[in-house]
Every structure is written in C-alpha cells, then in structure tokens.
Chains A and B, each alone.
Chain A
Amino acid sequence: MKILAIETSCDETCAAIVEGTKIWSNVVWSQIDLHKGFGGVVPSIAKRAHEEKIDWVVNKALVTDVDAVAVTVGPGLAIALEVGIRKAKELASKWNKPLVAVNHIEGHVLSGLTPEVKFPAMALVVSGGHTELIYAEKIGQYKIVARTMDDALGESLDKAARMLGLGYPGGAMLEKKAEGGNAKAYPLPLPMKGRETERAFSYSGLKTAMWRIVNQLINSSVNQLSEQQIKDLAAGYQDMAFKHVVRVSKKTLEDFPVKDLLVGGGVAANKELRKRLAEMAEELRFSVWFPAKGLYGDNAAMVGIAAGYKAEKGLYEANIDAVDREPRARIDEVFKWRE
C-alpha cells in the first residue's frame, strides 16, 4: 500500500510517498539551507509559512498514485500543524482515499525501523523540541518513560552554540567545533548526577553553568573567546549533554525487558552521540537502530512508515471532519477527537 504522508509540525514543510518501509519520495522544504550561509539567522514563522510551500512540496513528492493519505496531527505548533492537516483532508476527499492521523513522535520512533527490530523495544527521540525515552510494547503501543523537565537536547545544543557565537544550525556547528576541543578544559556539570533513577532529562543547569563560564572568560580577556576556548567549551558542553542522555538511557534500559533501542530525531545525526549510544548498546548487549540518512530531522517519510502500520490494521479516520490539530499530543494517549 502506497501512502502520501504530510508533515508540518514545526519548521519543515514535508511530503513523502512510502510503501511499508520503502520510500518512493521524500521531500523536505527546510529553513536550514536558506539560512546556513548567513550565520546565526534564525528561522521565523513568516518564513515558516507552510501555506506557501505545501502545494509545491506535495506535488514534488507525488511520483506515483497512492492508496491513502497520512498526516501529522501533533505534537507541534498549532498554526503549523493545521496547514498540513487541511491539505491532507483536501486530498483525501478529492481522491476519495482513506486518511490516517499520525503522532509526530511515533514517526521519529519508527524512523529507524527494520524487520530485524524485536519488540518490546525502547525508543530514544532526541530533537530540537523533544527528548523522550519511550517503551514500545509493540508497534502502536507506547509508554513515555522519561522526558525532559526543561530544555530539549537539540535546543540545549543550539543555545550553547549561540553562547559561543556560532552560526546556524547551532547543533551542527557545535559538533564541528567540539572535534578539536578538550572536553575537560572547563568544569561543566553533569546534569542530574546520581539521580538517573528519576528517569528525567534536564539541561537548564548545564546551560546556566555554560553562560557563567563564557561570561567569566569574556570579562577576563579581550572581550572575545579564542578559537581554542570555543572548541574546548563546545567539546565540554557536548560531552556533558551526551553523557547525561546516555546515563539516563542506560539506567532506564536496564529496568525494562528490552534488547533493542530505536533512536530517532535530529540530534541523532550527531556522530559523537551515535558513537556513544553504540558503545552503550555493546556494553549492555543491546541492538541499537538508527534511521537512514535524511530521516533524522523532521520528514514525512517517517510519518508514512508509522501510517503504514495503522493502515495495515485498518486504523483510518472514520470521520475526516473530526480530525484536528493536537499541539500537545502524547504518543501514549489517544487523540482527543477519538475520546
């Protein structure tokens, strides 16, 4: 079954055609390429106007006929979500095809799925807006077991990059600088050290410590960080941020009857994080699964993959009109209009 999937939960306007885990097309209209050359420019809603891009993106993705339409309904930004939902409803009605509503996080969870993955499994979703560990009894049955209490991992890396005066996208710039840095040069704290059993992520304390160190250095020198200071701070920040996510993941994984870890979300594109998660998996004798290139950040292919499993079970929206955006949707709760 071929599914046209649409995703507009935040910055990216995306459409894809997916058949099972086979991807026919995967179109992502992103702010990042546009802004990369201008250093530090941050995308905005004005430029995030999904309305202007949605038709182009969908038309480019439509390389073959489809049997169903799928769309992300949440979590995300309400005014962004509604653009994708409107388009999906319009096409489903026009073509007389069934509609599948998908949770954005389930897309990330299943973005690295292969037939070898055994359930129950654990999923780690790390992106600009989300940092969650999710226990997956099977595909479609989830329980959030750890969440961030403040900042998401990707957001935290972006803010650290901003403090160091790096460009956009911050996380990627930080990764690059960290490669040439000494992670132990500055005393940055490990978040929630010794409290891993609380099963929570927290990045605000690390962010505050970084701000203090950066300001002390700037005040005591020539009002500008040296290249080596930037590299050392980038390495130190990334080290603690990743150590924290790995420690909480490890503790949680040991508490559940799982042998497989699915990793998804934009931060999973970071090579250092993937390396550390792979090392952890080896130590615990786990299998760890990462998405294919192009499926880390927000995309519609992952939404199509998640929709495929729902379609298999006939989980279509009986009443298309009732489908609505759900900005605070949780992967372990049913959509409100179904209650």
Chain B
Amino acid sequence: MASSIFKRNEIKKIAREILAMHPDIVALTGPLGAGKTTLTKAIAKEMGIKDVVVSPTFILHREYPGLDHIDAWRVEDFSEIERLGLAKMLVNKHLVVIEWADKFQAQISKLKSQCKIVWVKIGYGEKENERRITYEDISN
C-alpha cells in the first residue's frame, strides 16, 4: 500500500503506478471535488485514450476504447451496476473505473476472487492543490 501527498501536476505519476499494478477494476473513493474524475482522466491518458473523459455522474456509465467509466453516485443498488454490463466489461478485458466505490465496498470487494482490484482513496490535503492519495491492490 502506498499513501502520499501529491500535488496536482503529479497525478500522471499516480496514474502510471496504478496501471503498473495491472488492475481489472480501479475503485475510486473520496469526497465531492477531490479529483476522482481527474484521476480517471489521467489514467485514460496514460492508456493512450484520446477522447476527453468527462464525468459519468448523470449518465452513470461512459465507454472508451479499453476503458469503462462508471459512477455510483446516483446508484442505489449494486445490481444496477451489474445491469450496466459489469461482467461483460471484465470479460472484454476493459479496465473498469468505478467512482464512489465505497457505496458498494462489500460487493466490489467480493469480485477480488475473479479479478484484480486496486482500491484508491483520495482525500483533501492541507494545501489547496494537494491531495492525500492511498492506493492498494486488495486482491491478495
């Protein structure tokens, strides 16, 4: 487990380190405005995705080449995320990024027997442009 304070311009490094763990699911948690979508943008960029990654809050799910971006903010029941096609996304070997994953921590954690999950916690730092980010491979 790695936990550090990062400045905004260091987000690329975190994206790289997360991808180096070869996750199937990246579970993102943290308060409003902490930077969950910003980190997803950085991950997409590192994956070579050219599209502009925008917030999936309203639409719940956005698909990019090799990446599925899900937002659980408006979701009440985990079965709804399954209905979005989670199993198929994993079979397709897409990286699945789930924002507000803590809403379904138990259900997502259960998937660790089938796939590799990196759990990311983003919190506000002392200074305005700082974030405390913790990320951990919870599959082992």
Contacts and interface: CB of A to CB of B under 8 A. Distances in A.
B33 interface: yes
A77 B60 contact: yes
- Residue among B59, B77, B85, B124 with the highest chain A CB neighbour number at 10 A: B59
A328 B63 contact: yes
Contacts of A154: 58
A127 B38 CA distance: 21
Nearest to A156: B55
Interface residues of B, number: 30
Contacts of A204: 33, 35, 37-38, 55
A150 B54 contact: yes
Nearest to A130: B58
Given A43-B74, A46-B76, A152 B52 contact: no
A152 B77 CA distance: 24
A147 interface: yes
B55 A44 contact: no
Contacts of A211: 31-34, 124
Interface in A98-129: 127-129
B63 A150 contact: no
B59 A77 contact: yes
A208 interface: yes
A207 B83 contact: no
Interface in A272-331: 327-328
B57 interface: yes
A208 B84 contact: no
Interface in A72-94: 75-79
Contacts of A229: none
Nearest to B129: A208
B74 A79 contact: no
Given A147-B52, A155-B57, A42 B77 contact: no
A154 B52 CA distance: 19
- Residue among A42, A155, A212 with the highest chain B CB neighbour number at 10 A: A155
Interface of A: 10, 42-46, 75-79, 127-129, 147-152, 154-155, 159, 162-163, 204, 207-212, 215, 327-328
Interface of B: 31-35, 37-38, 41, 52, 54-55, 57-63, 73-77, 79-80, 83-85, 124, 128
16 contacts: A44-B80, A45-B75, A78-B61, A127-B58, A129-B59, A148-B54, A151-B37, A152-B55, A155-B55, A163-B32, A204-B38, A211-B34, A212-B33, A212-B128, A327-B63, A328-B62
- By Cβ-Cβ distance, the 10 closest A-B pairs, closest first, are A208-B33, A129-B58, A44-B76, A45-B80, A207-B33, A211-B33, A128-B58, A151-B55, A42-B74, A129-B59
Given A44-B80, A152-B55, A159-B57, 20 more contacts: A10-B59, A45-B60, A45-B75, A77-B61, A79-B84, A147-B54, A150-B38, A151-B37, A154-B58, A155-B55, A159-B32, A162-B32, A204-B55, A208-B33, A211-B34, A212-B128, A327-B61, A327-B63, A328-B62, A328-B63
